[in-house]
Chain A
Amino acid sequence: MRPKDRPLLGIEIHEGELRLAVVSESETSTQVHAAGHCKLPDGALRQGTVVDTGSVAVALKRLIVTHGLGDYKDAVIGIPAGGTVVRNLQVPPAPKEELAGIVAGEVEHYSIVSETGSHAFLRVHAPPKSNMELVGVVVAGAEANLIASLAEVAAKADLNIVAMEPIEFALCRTALASLGPEPTAIVITVTQTTTNLTFFRRGKLWAYRQLETGASALALKTRPAEPTALASEDPPLDPAAVLALSKELRRTLDYLGRNYPEDAKDATLHLATNEPSMLGLANMLSGYVERGVRLHIPGDSIVASPAARSSLESSQAVRYSAAIGLALRSHRVASEIAPPLDLFAAERSVNKAGVQKQRTAISIGMAVLVLLVGAVGMMIYERDISAKRRIVDALRGQIAVIQLSTSEALKERAGDIDQYRLLRSEGSPVVPLLDYLTNSLPPQTGLTSLTIGAGRLTRISGESVTEDGVMAVLRPLQSVPVIQGPRLDSMKVDTEKNGYTFTIVGTLVGMDQVRLPGPGAPLQ
């Protein structure tokens, strides 16, 4: 939403000119920052509708840049007088929130604008004339093509449309801005094609009337051959047309005097126009209606910045009245008396809805796209994870098989070792015994036989020349670990051999008592 104190651009597309004004408003002051105009390209505006939006936008942008107003983007566009339809309607009384719907129905019923057109309304506060309890509204409408053409101009000029308002009402606001609060006044606004009479009673809209007599009808068609001194300052007006207008004005005053005698008598008359050719109209009307008519020139009643002062000091400043009135949209007094209208509201809401729909669609599309990308990524991850997990499971299976077979092999090996140890214990350590015997034999001593029988009972027989030789065989055997309990079983004198024969008996230990020889013997 636009901050209230940000300056607004008021733009009026006049038949011959493009006019703009920048106005800032605060709680305490209103100031015109800039006002300017330029010639409108020929044929750009036809019967109130912009037909060449491109050239108008270019001219508008140039005008904005020329006045150094490029930073101002918020604009109120004026709907040209010829493009607006204004009607008084009587509608059943209804709460404020329901009134819009009722008015819309009446607009459609009376075909004030086509179905696609836009309208806005102001509540008339005067009591109804009859007892039918109807209330009055002033409806302003414009066709869709006109609204669209103005929107196109704004879009091409890179402006943000705050509102679109008929210039009749903008002119009225210019006059109201210089009146105090709760004025009782008749504001006469003269546009190119219409004159509008608006009666405000104590700050409320009381009556409205539109006359089809505008500046183009009131201005003199041909200039006098020798202008008078007065005429040299004020453009000439058609006395007959002014007289006709004054008659209509008097008729309105009479009507108001009849219906609201006290208020109509006190009401002041104010003239606001955007046509420099109408400068003399106030004086002429004063003479005809015998009441003072005050012409409102923006520079007289609204503070102008130094930059805008030169534009607003001359009498030609009335050309900016409509543009300034458009930019005075938030004026604290005027907007209370005559609430600002916006004929772009419906179009804006449609545009907003369209943009919102588009954004929603893009948002949903992006969200779906992101989710899809995420889902695809997650699926790819899931696939790879599953593949790796399958490999892990297969490897675990292989490891289990390997470990089982290894365990069985080791178990079998352990069994073989135990079996080997057990069975080896049944063997006899013959070779160690032989080695002990042969290594311990003394001289002149020999073995004749060796017998190992059941239970490893061992008999060692031999012969020796001396008894000591026999003992020399027996004694070491008693400390030999492979034989247990060796003893001399017999010793006899052998006369033939001139010596002794002997027999030693003992029991051999099992092979388990003997170390396994050599490398590669895992059982040691």
Chain B
Amino acid sequence: MDRMDRNVVVPGDQLSDDPKKAGEGTYVRDGIVRSLLYGMASSYKDKVRVIPLAGKYVPSPGDTVIGTVQDIVFSNWIVNINSPYEGLLHISELPRKIEMNEMSKYLRIGSSVMVRVKDVDSTMKVELTMNDRRLGILTRGRVAEISPTRVPRLIGKGGSMINMLKKELNCNIFVGQNGRIWVDGNDDDMDLALKTILIIEKEAHTTGLTDRIMEFLRSEKEARS
């Protein structure tokens, strides 16, 4: 019995009897494609895949993430990136040259940074970089955290959701792949932004969300004025 009746599947649920269709989040045993995850099953380009409803962030090269500095060890900042794996930001990966004895002055423990994952090796050593004008130390604004599995929905198809939010909320918003989100604007706009983000996280799996959010924002802003 193919369990795609309501789209929510649990590990082991049968998705297809055609092994060629096995996509992300599935495995094949005895010719049957089954779910590996608690998530939503969907067909995408001839493949059946399962999008997780829960789970931790695993860093991947190219991801931009928001982290918090936990420690400084020799020439590396140890950065918490909301993952089972910590990130290492090496002194040479900054936009300018810093001496080892200036490290704490430049970037101290507790600081938040926007960085990119440069490399993840087979021992799960995660190398970060801040050497790009779009990356840097976060000195203002607020950082919220959602489940990394909801990030694609928060961004939306081609950025549709996130662009709508930036426009309607008059805030700078950056969504890290690791589920951390930075917002910057005036206090009231940031409050509304964070409130909206939490709603999106909660209802990520429902249809018509973008329209509902737009409606929500319009009515909140009307109520304010």
* A and B associate in one complex: no
Chain B residues in the interface with A (C-beta under 8 A): none
Which residues of chain A have a CB within 8 Å of any CB of chain B? none
